[in-house]
Amino acid sequence: MGLARSWLYAPGHRPDLVRKALEGPADAVVVDLEDAVPPAQKEQARDAVVAICDTAADRVWVRINASGTKWADGDAAALSGSPPAGVRVPKAEDPATVAALAERTGLPLQLLIESARGLRRVFELAECHPLVAGVSPGEADLAADLRIRDRRELAWARARIVTANRAAGLPSPVASVWTDLSDTAGLAEDSAALRDAGFFGRSVIHPSQIAPVHRAFTPDRDEVQRARALLDALDVAGDSSTWVDDRGRFVDPAVVAGARWVAELADTLRDLPDDHDEPAGARPGRSNP
């Protein structure tokens, strides 16, 4: 699937909404069997997800019900027979349980940290099985469990999750949802700040959130040009590990790594629109290696 900037949730018991999501511009679609599905419709949703995975598995991830619920085993069994691109695992807390799920399904797992217990063991979770594809925060539940009222106070938890991913050799984590559908400007600013903080991509709950999220996580033209100019300057610098470029900027291997990430990201996405200047809310000159 490559790098996904947007992960659009769609309720599993509403195949009509799942189809609309798949027809839209989201980079990935997360069909939800957990919070979005009423208990009485869990079985119906699971059957619908199996049918969807049989026809559009390459873009579909499935958020299953949490371990310990009466639906968890059935979810795992169903997806083993009709595999999606991967599985989102809510309320991940126990590395042994995650490893057992990976062995059972044989699918990439994206773990959601939604409790103090999960946050405490996030480094173990990130390395508990080769099929763990990433670890991301589920901030509504995490804030509730930590009794945090202002999500800005989750900065330490976010940094811990970013560090756990990178220490395990995993991609940057996916940012949690922005729940205020009326505040597009806030979504754009917050997404740009999260990119600066080490996240890449964001879960979204409505198609209207996709465009601002894509802008925030797509390097703009000037950023890409700066990165490529710096990489071109490597030929001039030769074997020097540090130098000052023609614009007076000190350059070392860490700066080069950041530029290489931006250039590779642009090559992968290849969809910079003509009117795309600076990502909304971004701070000029910042990039996320």
Q: By the 8 A CB rule, do 178 and 200 touch?
A: no
* Residue 114 labeled ligand binder: yes
* Residue 59 labeled ligand binder: no
* Residue 127 labeled ligand binder: no
Positions at the binding site for Mg(2+): 114, 141
Binding region for substrate? 63, 114
Annotated binding site: 63, 114, 141
